[in-house]
Amino acid sequence: MAPVFADAEKQFLATHPCITNLSFSYGSSATLATQIVNGSPADVFVSASEKTMNTVSDSGHAVNTTLFARNSGEIMVNPSSRFIDNITSIASLSESSNAGIKVGLCVTTAPCGALADTILEKAGISRREIADTESPSVEDLVSKIEMGELDAGIVYHSDCVYALKSKRAVCVSIPAVENATNGYYVAALNTRNVTQQFVDFVSNTAFTTSLQSKYGFLAP
C-alpha cells in the first residue's frame, strides 16, 4: 500500500484543493488496529484483512467500512539466490526439497501471515517446515528478500508486480487450487467531512480500477 498511497496522495490533493496535506502511517494491519483501539489518533484505517478491520469496528472506532480490493499470494524470490531455478512451487520452499534454503513468512497475526497459512494448509505443508524468519509485516519481508537476507517468501501478488518493475525480485505463481485471497477494507474513524472524502476517494471506481491495472490487486 505504500507505493499505492504515494500516488493516491497526489491525485487526492489535486482533486481536493481545500486539503493541503495527508499523513500516512504504515505497518501491519494488526499492529495498526491495536494502536487505533488503544487511542492512537487517525481519521481513516485501511486494513488488509476483514479480521483486523473487525478489531477496530467491534471496538466502536469505525464509522463505516467498505471492501475496495482483494489480493492473492505469490512466491517472491531474490534474483541472486542459488535456488532460483529450483523454486517452482510451495513444496520447493522446504528444506527437504532444497537444503539450506532460507524462507520467510509474515507472522501469523499479520494478514500476510494468515494468507500464507491458508496457502500452506491447502498445499499440505506446515509453517515450521519452511519458515526460517517471521516478519512483522509484508513490507519487512519483501525488503529481506530483495536485499538477499532470504532466498524467498510468500508475499502478495501486488508486491511482486511492484518488485518486477524495478527488477528487484522474480516471482513464482501459486496455482489457484492452493492460492488464497485477502480483502482490503477502508473505514472512516470519525464523522469529519474530510475523512469521508478520503474514504470515498479510495472506494471510487477510478481508484479501484487503477489498483487492478497498475498494481496487480484484484477486484473486490
Whole-Å CA distances, 15 to 8, 104, 148: 11, 40, 40
Question: 139 with 200, same domain?
Answer: no
Question: 51 with 124, same domain?
Answer: no
- In the structure, what pLDDT confidence band is assigned to residue 54 with cuts at 50, 70 and 90? very high
Question: 126 with 101, same domain?
Answer: yes
Question: 23 with 112, same domain?
Answer: no
Task: For residue 47, give its domain range.
Answer: 2-70+182-215
Question: 165 with 83, same domain?
Answer: yes
Query: What is the grid cell recorded at 127?
Result: 509453517
Q: What is the count of structural domains for the chain?
A: 2
Helix 193-203, helix 2-15: angle, nearest 10: 120
Question: 65 with 128, same domain?
Answer: no
Residue at 96 is within a domain: yes
Q: What is the pTM of this model?
A: 0.90
Question: 168 with 96, same domain?
Answer: yes
The C-alpha atoms of residue 85 and residue 134 are separated, in whole angstroms, by: 24
Q: Residue 149: which CATH number?
A: 3.40.190.10
Question: 153 with 82, same domain?
Answer: yes
Question: 144 with 169, same domain?
Answer: yes
Question: 60 with 93, same domain?
Answer: no
Question: 50 with 138, same domain?
Answer: no
At residue 124, the pLDDT reads 96
Residue at 220 is within a domain: no
Residue-wise pLDDT for 93-108, tens only, equals 999 999 999 999 999 9
- In the structure, what pLDDT confidence band is assigned to residue 78 with cuts at 50, 70 and 90? very high
Residue at 85 is within a domain: yes
Q: Is 85 exposed, middle or buried (0-12, 13-18, 19+ CB in 10 A)?
A: exposed
Q: What is the mean pLDDT of the chain?
A: 94
Question: 125 with 186, same domain?
Answer: no
The C-alpha atoms of residue 143 and residue 149 are separated, in whole angstroms, by: 9
Which amino acid would we find at residue 199? V
